[in-house]
Amino acid sequence: MSNQKRFHIWFGNSRTTITVDTILFELMAIKLKHQPDDEDAHYVVREWLQDTIVSKLGEQSGRKNATQWTRRYLIEAIADRRLSTKRDEWLINTE
């Protein structure tokens, strides 16, 4: 099994290939109520990525670091809310 999953994301009329660690794909598929080996899992995760990435980064083509931003958004979506809240509190206190 590959350590990476590939997804094609559209920024306006431009398609970009995003790579995602397999474990992040599997965890997101489960969060979206699909078994990772379900035939619809890739589609469901891709749709989530498409919506999330474009809503956060905008639709301009030629997005740099889209894969790195994708990793961040997946981790934030998957992480336990209490853990995320503690991180947010830590960030506020370090400013």
The string of pLDDT tens digits covering residues 15-58 is 999 999 999 999 999 999 999 999 999 999 999 999 999 998 88
Runs of H (alpha helix) within the chain: 22-31, 41-57, 66-78, 81-94
The residue among 38, 30, 33, 42 whose CA lies nearest residue 4 is 42
Per-residue pLDDT at 61 = 60
Domain assignment of residue 57, given as a range: 4-94
**Mean confidence (pLDDT) of the chain:** 89
Place of tokens 């790195």: 68
pLDDT above 80: residue 3: yes
Token representation of residue 36: 């990772």
Per-residue pLDDT at 35 = 95
pLDDT above 70: residue 62: no
pTM of the model: 0.82
Q: Where are the beta strands (DSSP E) in the chain?
A: 4-11, 14-21
Nearest-angstrom CA–CA distance, 10 and 16: 6
Rg (CA), the chain: 14
What's the number of domains the chain is made of? 1
- 8 DSSP β-pair partners: 17
Over range 79-93, report the average pLDDT: 85
Over range 64-75, report the average pLDDT: 89
